Amino acid sequence: MVKIYGIKNCDTMKKAFAWCAANSISYEFHDYKKLGAPREKLVLWCRTLGWQTLINNKGTTWRKLTPEQQAITTQGQAVALMLENPSVIRRPLVENDAGQLLVGFDPTLFDSFVR
């Protein structure tokens, strides 16, 4: 089973959920809005993927941040920003049983990743 991290009402998340349903893929969902972003996971993901991969700098939440908040130069600053504003984390973030990570939704990549 895979674990999907994100925000329930996000359009990209809805596409990922629909794809999983259409392909009979079981998943566990971690909603950042209800459960928060787990700090230990953010640190691990930053080490694995790089914090630049995790930050969605094209979204509404990013655009609402001050220039000072957007001036991230370190992993520590990125983790702090993602803890304070989980909507800035790219979605979905998918973790499979092997601990591998996939960021974003692409049906072809999803298919090879979750099966």
Pick the catalytic residue: 10, 20, 72, 79? 10
Find all residues with CB under 8 Å of 90, minimum gap 6, and list them.
53, 54, 55, 56, 103, 104
Residue whose C-alpha is closest to residue 45's, from 90, 14, 85, 111? 90
Q: Is 53 exposed, middle or buried (0-12, 13-18, 19+ CB in 10 A)?
A: middle
Asked if 10 is an active-site residue, the reply is: yes
DSSP 8-class letter at 87: G
* Residues annotated as catalytic (active site), given as ranges: 10
